[in-house]
Amino acid sequence: MSVKVQICRRLKDLTRDDLEKLTKTELVDKVIQLQSYNRQLKNILHKKLNESDNGDVIKLTESGELSKDSGTEGIETTEPNQEKSSSRKFDFSKTFKRHVLLKFLYFGWDYQGFACQEDSNNTIEFHLFKALTRTCLIESRSLANYHRCGRTDKKVSAFCQVISIDLRSKFPEKQQFEESCLEKEIDYCGIMNRVLPKNIRCISWMPIRNHLFSARFDCITRTYRYFFPKGNLNITAMQDACKLLQRHTDFRNLCKMDVHNGVTNYVRHIEAADVRLCPHENESKNKGYAMHYLEIKANAFLWHQIRCIMTVLLLIGQGKEEPSVINELLNVEKNPCKPQYTPAMGFPLNLYHCEFRDKSEQKAMNESQQEIRDLRDLTKWLHNENNLRRLIEILQGEWSQAQIKATMIRSTLYDLEQLLEQEFNAIDVNFQTSLLQDDVKSKSYQKLMNRKRCESLNNRIEHFVKKQRLTVPKQKDSVEEQELSMP
């Protein structure tokens, strides 16, 4: 049973009446908390020095405030007395809106993750909203009824990232689903792709009948793929281990716990997990260079869950662990504390596919219209031939560049391997997967279950309660409190 917790509000959220009710000790704690928060903000601001989207230089004054000096490179400047050119602001009050799903692909190895961040503009979401506002498809994020399907981490890619959002439309709501109107609707993907970076592309869009349909809450399954070379791995042993993941279970030992954000439930449902050879590969010909992938499907995933699973699978494939170690890690009653290990690298991971329910669990906005209430919320994905051709052209260029580099390296490896065999009669050297394990290499391997353990979930909750980051609500049935007091 998971402990129910609440995240404590920071000082800035408290009203004057709330502050007057606090004791002196509580006020001192709040001041200390606020000072710590200010130090974090200053560190963020220092990272932003000399960075700006418009070429501005950001300076931190002695008082701790931000000031901007405009750079001159690539920026048009005007004299103080010179009149600025007045640009007409787009009038959204004269436009219509429609609710849609947008499907994107992106290669995330050059970005700091999908979601917007306080200390970096180098995120996928930042570029999406920059494109949406620049093309006047939305007025602002706060008014866009926006939800994302998945929140990928730093360097993680997506072949099927989906967002739900309200976009500008040419037609009123009653006409939006007519076939002729769909054909003449704004080319959402086309105009966005003109302003998006080339490694972020909009593939297609889908008109949605229910304006409350959510790409996050109405997504029923998410499928990820993690690509890796075979190297010296025992693929059969890794496949046997995958079968042990397919159950309702607690994955606290196969993820990075973020208790400080209020997450205390680590039960997830893995519907399918398997290791497969990539369709275009020939294992007998390429040997250790043949590319495989882990495909894993679930209703939702925890922070670094797949990367932690991949770490254990790599150890199993190398023969350092038995497949049964999965059962040991999933037995949280026997092993409540996670062994210390490092998650696998993030760049081979991608969000491969998403599935949505036909009818949203959110209450439809058009309940009064029987014909809409009886229809599916989902329609069909709409593609544009020119956009798809352009997308394929761009990706083929990316592939050519990467493949030329890979072939040059592979050719050099072939010559070196032949030389090693001729001169020293040595066997194959297969260390292709060593890059994926960003861990300290020790001379003697220590089994996972014999390693030093991290703190248990209950201890972490207790720690953040003492730090006043979390609170545990008092209940008549004190089962949660009893769990919290366990050592």
Residue 202 contacts residue 102 (beta carbons within 8 Å): yes
List the catalytic residues.
153
| Token digits of residue 452 | 């030093």
Q: CA–CA separation, 5 vs 261, rounded Å?
A: 10
Place of tokens 């976009």: 167
d(CA 263, CA 7): 10
